[in-house]
Amino acid sequence: MERKSSIVGGGILILVGVFFLLIQFFPGFLSWFDLSQQWPLIIILIGGLFFLGAVFGTPPLAMPACIVGGTGLILYYQNVSGNWASWAYMWTLYPAFAGIGAILMHALSGNWKEGLREGANLLLISAVLFVIFAAFFNGLGLLGQFWPLLIIVAGLWLLWKNRSARPQSKK
């Protein structure tokens, strides 16, 4: 485990060193990184570093990798589009980030079936919440007058999911 983490740490140091070396020899290289518009890429990069740590020896790091990287992607979208009001429904993506992290964590640990079960539930919850909140905060234009169907589908899903958990009546 210690050997793998030192490999990841060494790789990160090499990448950072190459970046600063490029800046030394090609001063125009830094102008490509306009941090006034591209600052969320730093957060995405941090998530990527967590992911490298997960791949090279510490699978539980997949969870923070997905959450931090997903946060960076949300912020990147909002910064580029200027749609900061989308935060009213973007927060519903966090269960999906955790679900993807659970799937990756268990897959890297060799127990992908358990991860798929945990992650799929979180992905479904996130998708339903995202559609409901996005439809509501965008003036219901997404679903029009049919948005209550989402609530009905969620209720049917809960009933179907728990059908085998009900006690059977004795005759």
Is 93:146 a contact under the CB 8 Å cutoff? no
Q: Which of 11-15, 138-142, 157-161 has the lowest mean pLDDT?
A: 138-142
Domain assignment present for residue 71? The answer is: yes
Q: Where residue 158 falls among pLDDT bands split at 50, 70, 90? A: confident
Domain assignment present for residue 116? The answer is: yes
- Look up residue 30 and give its amino acid: L
Q: Where residue 166 falls among pLDDT bands split at 50, 70, 90? A: low
What is the distance between the alpha carbons of residues 31 and 51, in angstroms, rounded to a whole number?
28
pLDDT at res. 68:
95
pLDDT at res. 33:
66
Domain assignment present for residue 64? The answer is: yes
What is the distance between the alpha carbons of residues 109 and 117, in angstroms, rounded to a whole number?
15
Domain extent for 113: 34-164
Domain assignment present for residue 72? The answer is: yes
In this prediction, what percent of the chain has a pLDDT beyond 90?
A: 25
Is 62:108 a contact under the CB 8 Å cutoff? yes
Domain assignment present for residue 13? The answer is: no
Domain tally, the chain:
1
Sign of CA dihedral 53, 56, 59, 62: positive
Domain assignment present for residue 157? The answer is: yes
Mean pLDDT for 20-25 is 80
In 22-90, DSSP assigns E strands to none
Domain assignment present for residue 17? The answer is: no
Question: Element (H or E) spanning 34, and its range?
Answer: none
